[in-house]
């Protein structure tokens, strides 16, 4: 791994040279490399509204952590006291779920080792292993026996089939995905492993802590307890998103410095700076990105299903596409790179990065078809499935009544732990794309992206020509029939 420059004077000389070689847009300036230990200076005057929302979301994060911690402690104590009166068995409920949480951490670390050892095989294995593991969870839930369990198990099986079909559909893109992942992660910043391992440990410990509260609420099973469990799970999801994105901002910042300016930056130092200064923007992004991704994904699905010649359907799809194109500029994961690098607000960073993508011919379409996010998602699903199978099989053997709920909790927790573990990988790819969009002619980039863009343009032209020929054939057939 690269090591940070130790000589201060030499570092400043190298930075000045790299700035001359790699000019940046006039609207922004790079991180102050003279003070790599300090906060990245903001590139634009921060508005009062921007500062207010950053502080608001930062306050919300720490407030909910405090309140959820108090709630979990109260529920745990109450659950242990009332366990005997409500026929709840803590010795049967807690061990399988806590063990599955630990297994999710181990599986997440193992996934890192598999990817580092052979990225190409890891990518292919993920797209085929995830459906198998997901289907196994579905079969396990069906075996529990009740109608509800069978229904949820059928959903998992259907999800597995969908993954398999998706894997067959995107097989031609594997080669490019292998190349871009290998390029972006070839030389991770120094101390990246320490940041990743700490993040996984924190996610496992925090998840295990919340599990005790969920068990306490499960012991009495009132309507209010169901509300408490829902609140705890929502808190888990948002906190894990924030933890993942903190790591993503820190690693992408360090990686961007290398891609754009040829400088080395310590990942641990970037992680510390991110936690200290950028938590507010990350919390905003952690709230907006999942919502926008869900809405945009739904719109793209509608567009695929409306691929007909019907004029009403076509106009509706066109309207939805306009909305999707607008939403992506308001919040996207690539904005996290500018959040860490230039200390921008999240929405401003998202808008600026996407404008850069659109200014480079073919790059927006290339990024839209990138499989890195799919790889990370399915890897996390695999970790969640392994965790769910661990808890579900154990619970099926000792106390069948708890098997469904424990399996679902284990799957959700395992998924989020997996996402945290793979955040560094996605961060490297984000930094690579953003750095390339700002200086496509840089000697630090090879022909992987330009060649892929050219390939996509050729395929698009061939598809358009084919559609034109089909349209002409239909017109001729209709004319002959008349």
Q: Where residue 327 falls among pLDDT bands split at 50, 70, 90?
A: confident
Rounded distance, CA 184 to CA 295, Å?
Answer: 28
DSSP 266: -
What per-residue confidence (pLDDT) applies to 297? 80
What per-residue confidence (pLDDT) applies to 452? 92
Q: Where residue 29 falls among pLDDT bands split at 50, 70, 90?
A: very low
What per-residue confidence (pLDDT) applies to 296? 84
* pLDDT at 2 exceeding the cut of 70: no
pLDDT tens, position by position, 4-26: 433 333 333 333 333 333 344 43
pLDDT tens, position by position, 62-106: 999 999 999 999 999 988 887 666 677 888 899 999 999 999 999
Please state the length of the chain: 482
> Is 295:219 a contact under the CB 8 Å cutoff?
no
What per-residue confidence (pLDDT) applies to 35? 39
Tokens (6 digits) for 188: 């991770």
Kindly state the average pLDDT of the residues 372-380. 94
Rounded distance, CA 428 to CA 258, Å?
Answer: 10
What per-residue confidence (pLDDT) applies to 479? 57
Rounded distance, CA 482 to CA 476, Å?
Answer: 10
Rounded distance, CA 198 to CA 182, Å?
Answer: 24
Tokens (6 digits) for 260: 């754009």
Arithmetic mean of pLDDT over the chain:
84
Tokens (6 digits) for 302: 């509608």
Q: Where residue 315 falls among pLDDT bands split at 50, 70, 90?
A: low
pLDDT tens, position by position, 156-188: 999 999 999 999 999 889 989 999 999 999 889
């Amino acid at each position: 791994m690269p090591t940070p420059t130790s000589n201060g004077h030499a570092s400043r000389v190298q930075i000045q040279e790299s700035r001359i070689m790699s000019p940046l847009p006039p609207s922004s300036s790079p991180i102050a490399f003279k003070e790599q230990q300090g906060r990245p200076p903001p590139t634009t005057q921060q508005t009062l509204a921007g500062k207010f929302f950053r502080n608001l979301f930062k306050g919300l994060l720490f407030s909910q952590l405090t309140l959820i911690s108090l709630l979990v402690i109260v529920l745990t104590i109450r659950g242990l006291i009332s366990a005997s009166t409500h026929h709840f068995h803590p010795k049967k409920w807690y061990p399988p779920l806590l063990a599955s949480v630990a297994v999710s951490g181990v599986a997440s670390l193992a996934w890192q080792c598999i990817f580092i050892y052979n990225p190409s095989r890891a990518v292919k294995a993920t797209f085929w292993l995830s459906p198998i593991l997901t289907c196994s969870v579905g079969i396990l839930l069906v075996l529990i026996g009740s109608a509800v369990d069978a229904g949820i198990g059928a959903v998992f099986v259907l999800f597995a089939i969908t993954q398999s079909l998706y894997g067959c559909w995107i097989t031609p893109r594997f080669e490019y995905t292998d190349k871009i992942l290998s390029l972006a992660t070839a030389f991770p910043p120094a101390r990246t492993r320490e940041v990743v391992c700490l993040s996984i440990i924190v996610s496992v410990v925090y998840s295990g802590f919340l599990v005790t509260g969920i068990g306490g609420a499960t012991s009495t099973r009132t309507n209010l307890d169901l509300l408490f469990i829902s609140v705890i799970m929502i808190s888990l999801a948002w906190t894990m998103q924030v933890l993942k994105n903190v790591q993503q901002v820190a690693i992408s910042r360090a990686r961007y410095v290398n891609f754009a300016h040829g400088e080395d930056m310590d990942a641990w130092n970037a992680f510390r700076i991110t936690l200290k200064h950028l938590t507010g923007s990350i919390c905003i992004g952690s709230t907006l990105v999942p919502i926008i991704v869900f809405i945009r994904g739904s719109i793209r699905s509608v567009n695929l299903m409306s691929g007909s010649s019907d004029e009403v359907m076509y106009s509706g799809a066109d309207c939805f596409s306009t909305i999707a194109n607008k939403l992506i500029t308001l919040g996207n994961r690539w904005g996290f790179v500018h959040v860490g690098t230039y200390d921008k607000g999240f929405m401003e960073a998202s808008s600026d990065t996407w404008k850069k993508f659109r200014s480079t011919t073919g790059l927006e379409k290339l990024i839209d078809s990138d499989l890195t996010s799919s790889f990370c998602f399915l890897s996390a699903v695999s970790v969640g499935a392994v965790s769910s199978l661990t808890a579900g099989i154990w619970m099926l053997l000792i106390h069948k009544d708890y098997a469904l709920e424990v399996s679902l909790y284990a799957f959700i927790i395992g998924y989020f732990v997996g996402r945290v573990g793979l955040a560094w990988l996605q961060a490297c790819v984000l930094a690579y794309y953003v750095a390339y969009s700002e200086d496509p002619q840089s000697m630090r980039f090879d022909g992987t992206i330009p060649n892929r863009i050219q390939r996509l343009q050729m395929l698009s032209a061939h598809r358009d020509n084919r559609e034109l020929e089909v349209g002409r054939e239909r017109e001729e057939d209709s004319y002959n029939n008349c």
